[in-house]
Amino acid sequence: MTRLKIIGVFLFLFFGISLYAAEPPREALSLQDAFVNVSKEVGQAVVSVSTEHTERYQTRYYPFAQFEDQFFNDFFNDFFVEGPQKEFKKMGLGSGFIINKEGYIITNEHVVHGADKIKVTLPDAREFEATVTGSDTYSDLAVIKIEPKGDLPFVKFGNSDNVQIGHWAIAIGNPFAFAVKNPEPTVTVGVVSALHRTLPVTDKRTREYSDLIQTDAAINPGNSGGPLVNIYGEVIGINVAIFTMSGGSEGIGFAIPINTARRIVDDLMQGRKVLYGWLGVIIQDMDANLAGYFGLNDKNGVLVSRIVSASPAERAGLKPGDVIISLDNEKIKNTEVLIRNILKRNIGDKVALEVVREGKIYSATVEIGERPEDKTVVTEKKAEPKAAEKIVSSWRGLEVSDITSEIAQRFKLNSENGIIVTGVQAGSPAEQAGIRQGDVIYEINRTTVNNVKDYMAIVSKVSGDTLLGTYRGYVVLKEK
């Protein structure tokens, strides 16, 4: 026996230490094999989507010489001559996945938006020109098609309704095939971190996403449109966005549930317009202050803050201040649950709502309408121009003014009815309630406020907690 073996036996017998690497547990090998199988089976149907968009801009020719004095330069440069239009090519990258042997591919709408030319590269290096058969901005989904020569691999759909937090999540995409000169997709692994996530509109993101799957599987820019799959190789989502401070993956990625996509894919494949159900209500979640004001035992339910004119909700008799607590006997916990239920319905379906109004439960039957094309939800006839009247002395920390034509234009308001908040005192009840400069107040304690005169008459009589109706929703203003 060699000296090394003798030492190894001694260490193992007395200290339980082995100099030799142990074999991985069988469970770990099985899991590793599953990841390998998923990457092979699904990866062959994941494609790279590159787009080209031509943008044009106007050139300008300055016929005058430049002077040392900037004043003269500014003056003479006002007299320019327009030159010829020039154009440049804007490139885009994303991912997608093949869903059938006919060559239909799912990707994100923002990947192909405005594209003049779309090229699809398969993992086996085949390249195809693609056309958009249908796209939908609201869901951020699109279907593109290639004309295959021979068989195409395609994915299997899973059931995203069965996805649970903690399930394995595998993100597949190939955004950088052109850069690394390799058409094979990349694979990252994580878990489902959360469900039913919402991403609101921001300065950098112009659309709102709801009911998303959150995962810590690394999703990088360009992975948009690629599949999120489970451990069985079934697609459970479509990678759509990341939350990042650095521009790269930070373990917070989001995917559109595949069940959401499947409801509209047939329409997109046929080039049909995607229709969405709509009640015509502006809604908000409840909080402890609102629940207390309306006499509710908890924060469950959805508060109706405004009703769109001539909408299904108005025809059904719903009113601002109603709290929706159930839909077709299913409890409505918050706005996400209500929206998710409405989107599952077809245009023309009738739903039974239970609402709390002034402490009593009422029933209402609403026929689902078609969601309007534009985002305008409330339009009112503008009043005649009027002079602004400003309140110097504040009430509960609020300083307000009438809405003039200039103010309406500045804040892009559809109406001059109501009053606008011009200032909020630090530490006041108004600040604590979340009121901010620029908010429009149109209602106080369920009484309409058209102008400063109405406002003064109401606040001179109110006491205790007060309900304010603003364009951002209802808030409760504490007395102290």
**Segment 60-77, tens digit of pLDDT:** 555 555 545 555 555 555
Q: Please indicate, yes or no, whether residues 126 and 67 belong to a single structural domain of this protein.
A: yes
Domain enclosing residue 464, as ranges: 398-477
Catalytic-labelled residue, pool 39, 50, 136, 140: 140
Please give the pLDDT value at position 85.
61
Residue 377's pLDDT is what? Answer: 37
Q: Does 287 participate in catalysis according to the annotation?
A: no
User: Backbone phi, then psi, for 378, in 5-degree steps?
Assistant: -140, 125
255 closest CA partner among 50, 119, 106, 38? 106
Helix or strand holding residue 56 (H, E): strand 46-61
Q: 393 lies in a domain?
A: no
140 and 176: one domain? no
If you average pLDDT over residues 106-135, what whole number do you get? 92
- Mean pLDDT, rounded, for 278-282: 90
Residue 183 has pLDDT above 80, yes or no: no
**Domain presence at residue 11:** no
Give the Cα separation of 306 and 320 in Å (integer): 5
Q: Please give the pLDDT value at position 70.
A: 56
- Residue 74's pLDDT is 57
470, exposed or middle or buried, with CB in 10 Å at 0-12, 13-18, 19+?
buried
* CATH of residue 307: 2.30.42.10
234: confidence class by pLDDT, cuts 50, 70, 90: very high
Q: Confirm whether 363 is a catalytic residue.
A: no
Specify the pairing of strand 209-215 against strand 253-257. Answer: antiparallel
Residue 382 has pLDDT above 60, yes or no: no
Q: Which of 251, 270, 289 is the last residue of a domain?
A: 270
Pick the catalytic residue: 95, 110, 322, 401? 110
The percent of residues in the chain predicted with pLDDT above 90, rounded, is 40
Q: In terms of domains, do 344 and 430 share one?
A: no
Higher per-residue confidence, 55 vs 313: 313
Predicted local distance difference test score (pLDDT) of residue 252: 81
- The better pLDDT of the pair 74, 97 is held by 97
pLDDT of residue 23: 60
In-domain check, residue 7: no
Statement to judge: residues 140 and 160 lie in one domain: no
pLDDT of residue 245: 47
Indicate which residue of 48, 224, 249, 401 is catalytic: 224
CATH number of domain containing 55: 2.40.10.10
Whether residue 148 is predicted with pLDDT greater than 60 in this model: the reply is yes
242, 270, 298: which is the final residue of a domain? 270
pLDDT > 50? residue 286 = yes
What is the number of structural domains in the chain? 4
* pLDDT at site 138: 87
Within a domain: 29: no
Are residues 123 and 160 part of one domain? no
> 3-state class of 7 per DSSP?
helix
- pLDDT for 318: 94
Average pLDDT over residues 135-162: 92
244 with 218: CB under 8 angstroms? Answer: no
Q: How confident is the model at residue 416 (pLDDT cuts 50, 70, 90)?
A: low
The two tokens of residue 224 are: 């948009």
pLDDT of residue 205: 56
> 88 to each of 53, 205, 334, how far by Cα in Å?
8, 24, 47
Statement to judge: residues 365 and 448 lie in one domain: no
Residue 87: pLDDT band by 50, 70, 90 thresholds?
Answer: low
Least confident stretch, 19-33, 204-218, 306-320 = 19-33
- In this structure, are 259 and 291 located in the same domain? no
Residue 14 lies in a domain: no
pTM over 0.85: no
**Is there a domain that residue 22 lies in?**
no
Residues 282, 248 share a domain:
no
Do residue 73 and residue 140 come from a single domain? yes
Q: Above 50 in pLDDT, residue 91?
A: yes
Instruction: Give percent above pLDDT 70 in the chain.
Output: 76
Mean pLDDT, rounded, of the chain: 81
Sequence length of the chain is 480
In a domain, 221, yes or no: yes
Q: Is pLDDT larger for residue 104 or for residue 396?
A: 104
Say whether both 404 and 366 belong to one domain.
Answer: no
Distance between CA atoms of residues 299 and 415, nearest Å = 32
410 and 307 belong to one structural domain? no
- Judge whether 430 and 396 are in contact, CB under 8 Å: yes
